[in-house]
Amino acid sequence: MKYRQLGSQGLTVSELGLGCMGMSEFYGNSTEEESIATIHRALELGTTLLDTADMYGPFKNEELVGKAIKNHRQQVVIATKFGIMRSEERGFRGVNGKPEYVHQACNASLKRLGVEYIDLYYQHRVDPNVPIEETVGAMAELVQQGKVRYIGLSEAAPNTIRRAHKVHPITALQSEYSLWTRDPEDEVLPTVRELGIGFVAYSPLGRGFLSGAITSPDDLAPDDFRRNSPRFQGENFNKNLQVVERVKEIAAEKGVEPSQLALAWLLALGQDIVPIPGTKRRKYLEENVAATNISLTQADLERINEVAPKNVAAGDRYPDMSTVNR
């Protein structure tokens, strides 16, 4: 495993992180035993960045991660998030960026994780009703109190990122980025690069689509949230499957899995990009980590760009796009 600098404040992380969300919700059934074993295997392989959020579960994912890292605190960089409010019954209660809520949410996350500080604390979604300066001001207070080391934003627009960065240095921006979600290339990536902010790419495998393992909507569990995603429905699904088939052809020629090709492509785009593929099984974790050993030539990158150009995916990323990029 190699390591990369996230942002300009001194945070070093493994070049590939681990998204833990699916261990608790959204992607069908999972077991705590295999999830914890997966986190432990990730640490053995040199992965240091573990990504969670208070709303995953809800609340259960932080507890799971906390349990897994109990005797490994110095090995990990814990990234968690606040801002998307949920009830114990799994209902969504909106977005909250109020300063008092920032402090409340952080204290709750620290308790669930069983740690004294959070390495990287993100605002999960921007609250349109609270000036970003107020939210980030409260996050800066957490840094001053020693509860948080570095702060980040998720799915924020360029102007919001600039305003936030003036209040307190932003270490990382987390947004969806993959071969079928290349929107960040337009404005967000140039903005964070200008400001010296790292980029954490979530869903780097297109929510599993780029693995090549999903060939029909019926491959998804009945409670899998992807069934509600426009990209996994109707004609969009069929169009997106054609893109995956072309990616699979290139991967086969190189003797790698399509998921590994997709990760290697992201890793080749810059030392400031850290993908965080999510998995709840050791088998797929090992497959993903092996992607860090794949070298792509300029010709490879150009060919991949031809089969998966910007805006190639059919359908929106979410049923409701109103909470992202604001």
Domains of the chain, earliest start first: 3-205+269-294 (3.20.20.100)
String of DSSP letters for 64-87: HHHHHTTT-GGG-EEEEEE-EEE-
At 26, list the tokens. Answer: 């959204």
Poorest-pLDDT segment among 70-79, 125-134, 203-212? 203-212
Decide if 56 is catalytic: yes
Q: How much of the chain exceeds pLDDT 90, in percent?
A: 86
- What's the mean pLDDT in 232-240? 92
At 276, list the tokens. Answer: 């965080």
| Predicted pLDDT at 148 | 98
- How far, in Å, CA of 140 to CA of 280, rounded? 33
| Predicted pLDDT at 96 | 97
Residues 6+ apart with CB under 8 A from 317: 176, 181, 229, 230, 231, 324
Annotated catalytic residue within 27, 56, 150, 177: 56
Whether residue 204 is predicted with pLDDT greater than 80 in this model: the reply is: yes
The answer to whether the beta carbons of residues 192 and 161 sit under 8 Å apart is yes
Whether residue 264 is predicted with pLDDT greater than 90 in this model: the reply is: yes
CA 140-160-126 angle, to 5 degrees, is 75
Q: What are phi and psi of 322, to 5 degrees?
A: -70, -15
**Mean pLDDT over the full length of the chain:** 95
What does pTM read for this prediction?
0.95
pLDDT digits (tens, 9 = 90+) for 61-114: 999 999 999 999 999 999 999 999 988 777 778 999 999 999 999 999 999 999
